[in-house]
Chain A
Amino acid sequence: MRAKYLIGLVVILGSLAYLIFGGLGQNLVYFLTPSEYLQDQGRYQNRPVRLGGLVKEGTVRYDKDNLELRFILTDGVAEVPVVHRGTPPGMFKEGQGVVVEGRFQEGVFHGTNLLVKHSETYQAPKEGWTPEEVRKLIEEAK
């Protein structure tokens, strides 16, 4: 009786492990890097894709009047110009990791959704973080 359970368990655990370490991993790619996309453009033609990378320093242009955000997304190898309509999320800044959902049109990536990837590091600001100081900062910013 027990042996039967154990054999069944091993079979199922084994097949799950195969699924996870085998083929499944490739299909779980959440985003492509610009160079991966550019190498294999045919495969992603006319399909919505997610591109992930860093916002290149000094390339962010934001037009407040028509809410048009332009920047260059880079993975250090390839660069892609991105246009996104809408206010950028609060944590969006130069050098930040982002994931953009959208499509390529005539060499420009048109984003429909802009996600900001933040790091795993949590650091207190060097100065100005006591509640009083922060309140003052917020009041001054108005």
Chain B
Amino acid sequence: MLKLAQPDRPDILTRVFLGLGLLLLPVGFYLALSAPPDVNQGYLARIMYLHVPGAWLGYLAFFVTFLYSLLYLFRQDPRYDRVASSSAEIGLVFMGLALVTGMLWARPTWGVYWTWEPRLTTTAILFAVYVGYFLLRGAIEDPELRRKAAAAVGILGFINVPISYMSVKWWRSLHQTQSIDLTTGKIHMDPAMLQALLFNLFVFTLLYLGFVRFRSLLAALEARKEEA
């Protein structure tokens, strides 16, 4: 077996992602704040520029966890497990951001902070599953068993992502259906708003890529320290 590279400093790509992401973040905020208000919601609609990227990154991060959990099960290489858990951690943070901004958005538009409608319920379940992921990791002492059990949750938990995404179509919900609908390709958004949203999605994705690489490196350093 090849000896895995064990760098102790973030590589060029990580720095590029983080640097570019942090640099463009103020631009994204500027675009969000200069985008036109919505006809019905006024400036409230601008929560979207934080809410949608948060939810997107949650989905993306859990997908990466799913992928690397599978890789771990097939290759049994702890490196994949470290990426999977790093990604789940970041996903949890961004999903939390989506939940909080969603609640702040729901109160003035729907009239309540929270209601158990399908999109919110499935998202709460999704969030809870990945909290469980870390509880499980903490509960198992044997490293190999821990990694295998976590991989199982990382794979099974991902099934909630498409369910959560499609929930607004499958069931009658209070949450509106997707404004950028990936299943039909239809976009129900003013071009100026769409540009601002896409830019923010791009910046957040850059940040995610930087975060996940950096967090995986930290996990590798931690693991090395434990072995020593």
Inside 8 A of A91's CB, which chain B residues have their CB? 40-41, 108-109
Which residues of chain B are near A114, meaning CB under 8 Å? Answer: 111
- Could you tell me the distance in whole angstroms from the C-beta of A29 to the nearest C-beta in chain B? 6
B192 at the interface (CB under 8 A from A): yes
Minimum Cβ distance to chain B for residue A23 (Å): 13
Partner of A129, one of B37, B48, B156: B37
Interface centre among B38, B41, B118, B156 (most CB of A within 10 A): B38
> B164-201 vs A: 1/0 string, CB under 8 Å?
00000011111011110000000011101100000000
Chain B CB within 8 A of A61 CB: no
Contact B193 A122 (CB under 8 A): yes
Contact (Cβ within 8 A) A12 B188: no
The residue that A122 contacts in the complex, of B48, B118, B171, with Cβ under 8 A, is B48
Q: Within the assembled complex, what's the spacing in Å between the Cα atoms of A55 and B203? A: 40
Give the residues in chain A near B178, CB-CB below 8 Å: 120
CB nearest to B121 among chain A residues: A28
Is the CB of B134 closer than 8 A to any CB of chain A? Answer: no
Q: Is the CB of A125 within 8 A of B171?
A: no
Could you tell me if A122 and B110 are in contact, using CB atoms closer than 8 angstroms?
no
B40 and A120 contact, CB distance less than 8 A: no
Given contacts A9-B155, A16-B159, A115-B111, contact A122 B173 (CB under 8 A): no
Is there an interface contact between A122 and B190, defined as CB atoms closer than 8 Å?
Answer: yes
The reply to whether B190 and A118 contact each other, CB–CB distance below 8 Å, is: no
Q: Using a Cβ–Cβ cut-off of 8 Å, how many residues does chain B contribute to the interface with A?
A: 40
CA distance A2 to B109 in the complex (A): 50
Taking CB atoms, residues of chain B closer than 8 Å to A136 are: none
Contact of B174 among A29, A115, A124 (CB under 8 A): A115
Q: Which residues of A contact B170 (CB under 8 A)?
A: 25
B107 — nearest CB in chain A belongs to which residue? A89
Check: A105 CB closer than 8 A to any chain B CB.
Answer: no
Which residue of the partner chain B has the closest CB to A24? B171
B45-61 to A contact mask, C-beta < 8 Å, 1/0:
10010000000000000
B78 at the interface (CB under 8 A from A): no
How far, in whole Å, are A5 and B155 apart by their CA atoms in the complex?
Answer: 12
In the complex, the answer to whether A29 meets B171 with C-beta atoms within 8 Å is: yes
For residue A8, give the distance in angstroms from its CB to the closest CB of chain B. 8
Distance between Cα atoms of A62 and B189 in the complex (Å)? 33
From B48, B110, B163, contact of A115 by CB (8 A) = B110
Instruction: Check B144 for interface membership: any CB of A closer than 8 A.
Output: no
CA distance A29 to B193 in the complex (A): 32
Residues of B within 8 A of A89 (CB): 108-111
* A119 & B110 in contact (Cβ 8 Å cutoff): no
Interface residues of B (CB under 8 A from A): 36-43, 45, 48, 73-74, 108-112, 115-118, 121, 155-156, 159, 163, 170-174, 176-179, 188-190, 192-193
Please give the residue numbers on chain A whose beta carbons come within 8 Å of chain B beta carbons, in ascending order: 2, 5, 9, 12-13, 16, 20, 25, 28-31, 52, 89-91, 99, 113-125, 129, 134
